[in-house]
Structure formats: structure tokens, C-alpha cells
Chain A
Amino acid sequence: MIGVVSYLTFFLTMAGIMAIITLGLNLQWGYTGLFNGGVVAFFGAGAYGTMILGGPAEPGQFGGFGLPYLVALGGGVLLAAALAWVVGLLTLRLRHDYLAISTFGVAVALESLARNSQWLTGGARGMRGFPRPFEAVIESNFLFGVVFLLIVLAVLALVWWGIERLVHSPFGRALRAIREDETAARALGKSPTRLRLWSLVIGAAIMGAGGGLYVSYTAFVSPQDLLPILTFQVWAMLIVGGAGNNRGAVLGAVLIWGAWTLSGFALTRLVPDSMQLDAGSIQYILIGTLIVSMLLWRPEGLLPERISNPRNTTVAKAAHTSNKE
């Protein structure tokens, strides 16, 4: 029984990290309409930034400053934000699919950089030995899992609260105005370029926090963690949950991560022994079917955006979202 609780603790930890990243994307896409196709780049910047600042020293390698945990995590967040700022200055003139392709390119470039800059990132071998927070003082493996879950939930709550404050402020309304009609927003004296840049940078910083938390759990990061599948997962989470709704983003993250991992677990029990080798492929089919079904039957997501203005109904919003696809 304690095993099941222990696994659930871990599951919620990972789902919580994915939810944090999805909230970051929700700010960018759900509230501002920025098509970020390089989520994994900002996740990776946060992960590597945290590792370089907080990890142990290695001969022949930059970093290993062994800074306190919060400083390292904060540094990872700042690195992700800085990357987004540079990327944003270069690409934010681009719209929708063009922005998606260029941010995707940034992610691929970052993966290549991590794989090749041995002095900076350890190259393909990755970086190891991050001191996991509180592990030294907690003897029980189970208790460590619980404490780490609490850390993740605290960050998730902080991010949630911050984004809710943000999107209900005049700043948030300006973001939505840009998303709906950029020319109109400009006519009202808003600066779309500046606001879009802020949205990209804040969203990326949140994704970087997700990366920093991940690396401080696994104590290891390598280019293998920078593959585009993460970007795809986070998008699936946001679309299934409901873009433009923070509750939807968190729900989607938990559901999709659950489908992704628990389906593998369930298949080991449901599939006969002779088909165990095919379980991995069956799992992919299940995940794909789930996402496609959601897109067909509920394209606005499980919890669609709600806008307090009564004239702008949910239905109109749904039509708008599906037009953009």
C-alpha cells in the first residue's frame, strides 16, 4: 500500500512539473496567441541553468558553483527568461506558424548546443550529481518524495496565483486584446511588440522553473531531455485541458501525463504475455487516439476559456480557437 502511495506521490510530482510548464504555455498561447513551438528550449534552459549553478564542480568543465538551491533554481528561471528575451526580439515580428517554426528551430539549436559544448554542458554525457533539496537531511526515500511534491505544489500554486493576477489586470486584458485584434489594440495605444515580448518572457521563465524542478529531482540532465516530444506533450495538455483557462491547463497536464504513463502501467496487466512486446506500440496508439478524439469532440478543451464579458460567449471563443488551428 505504501508503494502505491509512494508512486502516486511521484506521479503528482511529475504531473505538477508538467502543469507548471503548461501554465507557461497557456500564458503565451491561451492569453496572448503566441504559437511557441519550442517549449522544450525554455524547459532545457531552466534545467541546464539550475544544474550549472547548483551542481558539483567537474574538472575541465564550466559551472559546478554549488550555489544554494533557491539561487540555482532562480538562475535557471532567469536563463530561460533571458533566452526568451533574445528569441523574442528576433522572432516576435513573426505570426502564428512562422513563429512556431522559428521557435522550434531554436529548440533544435539548443539541443545541438548542449550536445556539442562539452566545456559548458558536458556534451552528450550530460551533467550529473545535483544535490537534491533536503535529501541530505531526510533519510527516508518516501519522505523525500513527499517533501519534493510539496515543493512542486508550492511553485505550482505560486505560478497559478501570479498568472491569475496578471491576466485579470489591465496587462492581461491588453494581452487578450492583442490576441483578438492586434490592429485594434494598437489603435488604442497599446504596444503589441512590447506586450508580446513580456508574455513570451514570463511564460518562458515559468517553463524554466519546470525544467529546474525536474533536474533537481532526477539530479541529472542530458541532451536526451531536450527532444521535441516534450513540446508536443505540453501542447497536447493545453489543447485537451482548454487554452485560455488555467484550471484547464492544469487538468490537461494531469490527464495527459496520466494517460501517457498509466496506460503503460495498465497494459502490463491487461495485455497477455505473448503480446507484452507490443504493449509499447499499443500505448502510442492509445495516446494518439485519445488526443485525436479530444480534438474531434471537444476542440475547445475540457475547460474552455471563460470571459466575463457576456457578449463574448464561450461558443464564439471555441469557434475562434478552432479557426486558428
Chain B
Amino acid sequence: MKRHILGLAGASALAIGLQTGAALAQECSVNVGTLYPTSVDWGRPIAETALWVGEMINEAGGVDGCDVNMILRDDQNDGRVGVDAARALVDIDQVQLLIGTVSSGITIPILTSVTAPAGVMQMSCCSSSTRLTEIAASGEARGLWFRTFATADVQAAVAAMLARDAGIESITVVYKNDDWGQDIGRMAAAAFEAVGIEVHASIALNDAQPSYRAEATQALRDQPGALYLALYPTEGISFVREWLGLGGTSVMIGANSLRSDDFRTTVGLANLGDFIGTDTSSPRVPSAEAFVDAYAAHFGSAPSGPGLANSFDAAAIALLAYHAAGRDATGTEIAAQVPRVTDPDGEAIPATVEGFAQAMAILSEGGSVSYQGATGAVTFDANGNVSAPAVSWVFDDSGMAEQRYISLEEVSGFMASIN
């Protein structure tokens, strides 16, 4: 047994040695840590998308002329494993940029105990917790933290705006019982009250229950004028069918998570005439469609599954900022260049290899660009959150249709008025 272990160790040492030799032979390369739950079914395509961006950047000339070496680690969706992998990337691979991860319960300990203390920039596609905003606001993140996930506060505020405009007087909030659902449910309830709408109750739905009849009955007791739904399609379908079956109102406002054909067809278009949805940014911008086409061309199927567009933008913005900061930049220096990549007044560049090459040329000359990504033209606020315009949408015969565009100024003004 002992001999086997020694043999294995020898082989790995040899392989590591060979790898180092190969790396030295190249002109230069830049290590970038990529940490996603690759062993989880929905995590794998998110990681795949990030690696694809690395390939595109290399095709476009690499970060400051150096090949990007995307080192991928699996966080196993486990906090301790994720923190360890991040430590190895930062300490041993000496990365200055870490892209990841999905679950807020892993992203946060990495930010507070690994990347921020070490001065490494961290950009996530999909972590939704409002704790991250608090950490950034407290200064604990040292300005090194960004995420391309649009936080729930915009949607919660827009829901209140739409409810007020629709003349709704009382509402019951129904939310998915996870960190995202608890956040958006709480913020929506506060926003409704701020515009003078009575909130009867906030009801949590746990995952994977066989029936939500008890919760629907509880909601019905108050006879609310409308429902606010922060649910995913699976429990959304189940709950809304119970709710309508019991005779509840068909006036509903839903978060973007219900923007699903499954929800539309299973609940039935006939029952969704009074449904209004909210969403952040505008997924119908040309760059978003371009992303769908490019993804389909590269992977052979359209992007379906959560977080793919966000993962693409997270990797692209981070790597372009790295390029702008130069190959020897520290995490702090890379983070400082992010506004030059997402400058609304900069040259608009598409998310293609040619676009990246064009952007890198402009950035090298000291100019700034407006990256038109898979989720639209993203900008970040002081806490690393995406500031985005909002839309309302409805279900129709062909699927989902945008109803009203609410500009960034209008969203910010309304949010300031209710806080």
C-alpha cells in the first residue's frame, strides 16, 4: 500500500514538473481562477460558458498579449471545499482574479476569508444574497467584489410600482423559501407597504412539496386583491393551480423566475390574463440575441438553464478589465478598470471575438468601452451590483411580450422615493 502511494505521488510530482516546463516554454500566460460547481448538473454549463469566454479572449489576442489560463476548480456546492479550492487558486496558482461561484453560502466565505484579505478580485455570475451588498457596503469586500446577477431589489420595487399603477389595494406575498426568495419576498412586502398597499401575509413555499393546498388556503383567508409571486415555475405551477381552483383572484404579479413557457402552458393562458411580470434589464437587446445565436453555434444547442448569460458576462467583463489593467496587475488594479469596460459613454462593443479584439485595442490606448453583453449593457454600482433598467411583461399567444420599459433613471428615482 505504502509503495503504491509513493508511486502515485512520484507520478503526480513528475506530471506537475512537466506541466511547469510546458508553461515556461510559452511566451507568457495569465492564471485566472474559475470556481463553479462543475459536478452539479446545473453548474457544469455555467462553468463551460466561462471557459468558452476564456477561449474567445485568447482568440482575440489574450489578456495584454498573454494567453489566459483558466484554471477550473469544482466547489462541489460545499462551503468548506469551495473555500479550500479558492485558497489553492490564490496561494498556489497566484491568481489575481477569481470568477465564481454560484451559491451565496460559498461565495460569501470565499470573499470574506480568501479573496478580500488577499486583495484578489472576485466576480460571480449568480450569487443572489443581499448579504453580499451589506459586505460590500461595509467595506469588508475592499471594492474587489462584483456580480452580474441583477439583485432582487429592482424587481421588488418595480413590482410595487406596477401594483400601484394597476390600482391594487391589498396583496399577499408568496415566495420560494431560499435565500433569493426570502430576500425578494421581504423587499417586495416593504415596497408594497411603502406605496400604501396593504400586505396581508407573506407565505413561504418549501421546495418539492406534493401539494401547496395548505398555503393556498392560508392565502385565501385574507381575500387579498392580488398575489405577488416570487417562485420558480415548478412550485409556481403547483401553487397557482391550487389557488385558482380554490377561487382566488387571477390578479398576479410575478418575478422573472416565472418567465417560463412551462408556467404559461400548464397554468393556461386563459387564467393568466391579469398576470404582470417584472424583469431587470431588457433581454431583447440585439446583444442578448447575438449571445443566444453564438451559444447555439458553439455548443450545438440554445442556452437553457439558469445563469448562462450571467456567467458569460461575468467572465467577459472581468477578463477585459484584466486586459485594461495589464498582465502584472493586482486584483485591486483589475477591479479599478471595470468601469472602463462598462462605461455607458464608451464605444459600444459586441460580445464576439471581433468585439473583444476591438475592445482590447481601445482599452490599450486608454479609451473606454461599453460592453454589450449577453444580459445587455451592464453597469455596476458602488457595491458591485448590476444597475439595470426594468421591464414589465405579460403572457400572450406567442409566449411572453414586453409591456413597458422602465428606464434606469425611473427605477432609481422610484427606489429612492420608497426607501
Contacts and interface: CB of A to CB of B under 8 A. Distances in A.
A261 B88 contact: yes
A6 to B, nearest CB: 5
A5 B177 CA distance: 42
Interface residues of B, number: 54
A227 interface: yes
Contacts, number: 141
A116 interface: yes
A53 to B, nearest CB: 19
Interface string B257-282: 00000000000000000000000000
Contacts of B92: 3-4, 7, 265
A14 interface: yes
Contacts of A220: 108-109, 112-113, 131
A124 B186 CA distance: 13
A315 interface: no
Contact of B177 (A7, A115, A224): A115
Interface residues of A, number: 49
A277 B106 CA distance: 19
Interface string A190-210: 000000000000000000000
Contacts of A125: 104, 129-131, 179, 182-183
Contacts of A292: none
* Most chain A beta-carbon contacts within 10 A, residue among B74, B130, B177: B74
A218 B112 contact: yes
B315 interface: no
Contact of B76 (A144, A223, A265, A280): A280
B13 to A, nearest CB: 10
B232 to A, nearest CB: 14
A39 interface: no
A211 B131 CA distance: 21
B84 to A, nearest CB: 4
Most buried by B among A122, A126, A220, A277: A220
Contact of A128 (B1, B15, B88, B135): B135
B74 A266 contact: no
Interface in A207-256: 214, 217-220, 222-225, 227, 229-230
A125 B73 CA distance: 24
A128 B182 contact: no
B78 A227 contact: yes
A141 B140 contact: no
Contacts of B81: 260-261, 264
Contacts of B201: none
Nearest to A229: B78
A129 interface: yes
A169 interface: no
25 contacts: A6-B91, A7-B91, A14-B83, A116-B204, A118-B182, A124-B179, A125-B130, A128-B131, A129-B138, A220-B108, A220-B113, A222-B79, A222-B104, A224-B78, A224-B105, A225-B79, A227-B78, A269-B15, A277-B72, A278-B38, A279-B72, A279-B74, A280-B38, A283-B74, A283-B76
Interface of A: 3-4, 6-7, 10-11, 14, 115-116, 118, 122-126, 128-129, 132, 141, 144, 214, 217-220, 222-225, 227, 229-230, 260-261, 264-266, 268-270, 276-281, 283-284, 297
